Amino acid sequence: MIENSNVIELKNIETFYEGEKIPVIHDITFNIKNGEFVSIIGPNGAGKTTLLETINGLLHYTEGKGYVFGMEILKNKTEIRKEIGYVIQNFEIDPLSPFLCKDIVLSGRTGKIGAFKFTSKKDWDKVWYSMGLVGMIDFANRSVGKLSGGEFQKILIARALAQEPKLLLLDEPFSNLDFAARKQIETLLNRIHEKQVITIVMVSHDLSFVPNRCNRVIVLDRGRIIMDGKKQDILKSEMIHKIFNGNGKKK
């Protein structure tokens, strides 16, 4: 990858859910450069998750062109996904879930290891490194069902990092977390962006938690981009307060 080249290029993207007649996101155009930390914010139902899942090819766009790492998304989604760490929105985990934290983190490397190949020492080294980076090494042999929301979120982030991604996509990393856990995750994201050569795209409905190292904000509303610029300018703008009432909920 050439320094400062675009990691993501979207041109007039439109994505529908199967069976729906109105696109969830439309006319989405933006580029994200290598090493950027971008927050995409918008109220609930703005199309933020759809946009992330369009970027990693989980959802197919019907209009426009999308490129990640210079490769067209629809034609190369399996290859692209191996380089994208995806942290899904904090879902409710079954307390009896029979999975150990270390196995969940290792599962992030599944695509990278490839079919018909077994896990090597190098893979486990990446697991221990990622768990150490998020401060969860002591939880390696603990069941994921026994974790708090913040701890589980860290495991999901470690899982994405174990993949050694060039691009990290985070879907609502602060949702369902208390204030202390949110601060921890914010600090962690800043540290990851500082330590790793990585591009981070995070979606959130919460204006109050935009990490320090994030310097660009894209505002999404009703499936369209309505603002794209520097964090300070966007957060001070009047329009943002027309969309949000200060706590992330739509007016």
Residues from 109 through 138 that contact another protein (CB under 8 A): 109-113, 115-116, 118-119
Stretch that binds another protein, among 6-14, 139-147, 179-187, 222-230 (CB under 8 A): 139-147
| 99 near another protein, judged by CB under 8 A | yes
The stretch near another protein (CB under 8 A) out of 63-71, 156-164, 191-199, 207-215 is: 156-164
3-state secondary structure of 30: strand
Among 5, 12, 62, 94, binds another protein (CB under 8 A): 94
At residue 235, the 3 state secondary structure works out as: helix
Q: Which pairing describes strands 167-171 and 84-87: parallel, antiparallel, or unpaired?
A: parallel
As given in the structure block, the two tokens for residue 83 are 């380089």
In the bound complex, what is the minimum distance in angstroms from residue 169's beta carbon to another protein? 8
- The nearest distance, CB 95 to another protein, in angstroms, is 4
Residues 212, 192 contacting (CB under 8 angstroms): no
* Block residue for tokens 């007039």: 12
Strands 216-221 and 224-230: antiparallel
Q: Does 145 help bind another protein (rule: CB under 8 A)?
A: yes
Compare residues 68 and 210 and give the one whose CB is closer to another protein: 68
User: In the structure encoding, which two tokens stand for residue 30, read together?
Assistant: 């933006």
d(CA 229, CA 239): 13
User: Using an 8 Å Cβ cutoff, are 25 and 50 in contact?
Assistant: yes
Q: Which residues bind another protein (CB under 8 A)?
A: 18, 56, 58, 78-79, 81-82, 84, 86, 88, 91, 94-100, 103-104, 106-113, 115-116, 118-119, 143, 145-146, 156, 159, 163
